[in-house]
């Protein structure tokens, strides 16, 4: 458990992958694209965090799961998890930062 983690990242910082088509007189195309909506992204690596006993988390966790336990009224969510860290964001409707505890564990 990581206590009192401040969440300032914005949900609008997420990049979306999408496919669209373009049809003009002489050609037809399928286009794969990535679009960012803007906003401040917040990424955190596991090895920069410490648990409630003061132990540093490992650099990699094979199959991580990060659960958000809110400590204030700001809605926060984990956007993406990887072996080395995670992306986290607060809801777009708030100008305040979120304060959460993080329960980080390894699956399977």
Q: pLDDT digit string (tens) for 61-89?
A: 999 999 999 999 999 999 899 999 999 99
Given a cut of 80, is residue 92 above it in pLDDT?
no
Give the angle 59-78-36 at the CA atoms, nearest 5°.
100
pLDDT at 13 over 80: no
| Strand 98-106, strand 43-45: pairing | unpaired
Q: pLDDT class for 10, splitting at 50, 70, 90?
A: confident
Report the pLDDT value the prediction gives residue 67, as an integer from 0 to 100: 97
Using a CB cutoff of 8 Å and minimum separation of 24, what contacts does 29-34 make? none
Highest mean pLDDT among 40-44, 48-52, 88-92: 48-52
Question: Between the CA of residue 74 and those of 9, 26, 61, what are the distances in Å?
Answer: 12, 51, 27
Question: Does pLDDT of 38 surpass 70?
Answer: no
Return the percent helix, strand and coil in the chain, to nearest 5: 5, 55, 40
> With 70 as the cut, is the pLDDT of residue 37 above it?
no
Nearest alpha carbon to residue 70 among 90, 55, 85, 54: 90
How far apart are the C-alpha atoms of 94 and 73, rounded to whole Å? 10
Put residue 60 in one of left, alpha, beta given phi > 0 → left and psi -120 to 50 → alpha.
Answer: beta
């Amino acid at each position: 458990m990581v206590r009192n983690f401040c969440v300032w990242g914005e949900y609008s910082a997420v990049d979306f992958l999408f496919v669209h088509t373009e049809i003009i007189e002489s050609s037809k195309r399928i286009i794969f694209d990535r679009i960012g909506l803007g906003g401040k992204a917040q990424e955190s690596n596991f090895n920069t965090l410490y648990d409630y006993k003061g132990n540093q988390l490992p650099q990699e966790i094979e199959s991580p799961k990060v659960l958000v336990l809110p400590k204030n009224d700001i809605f926060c969510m984990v956007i993406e998890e990887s072996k080395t860290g995670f992306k986290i964001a607060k809801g777009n409707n708030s100008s305040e930062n979120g304060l959460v505890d993080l329960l980080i564990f390894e699956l399977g």
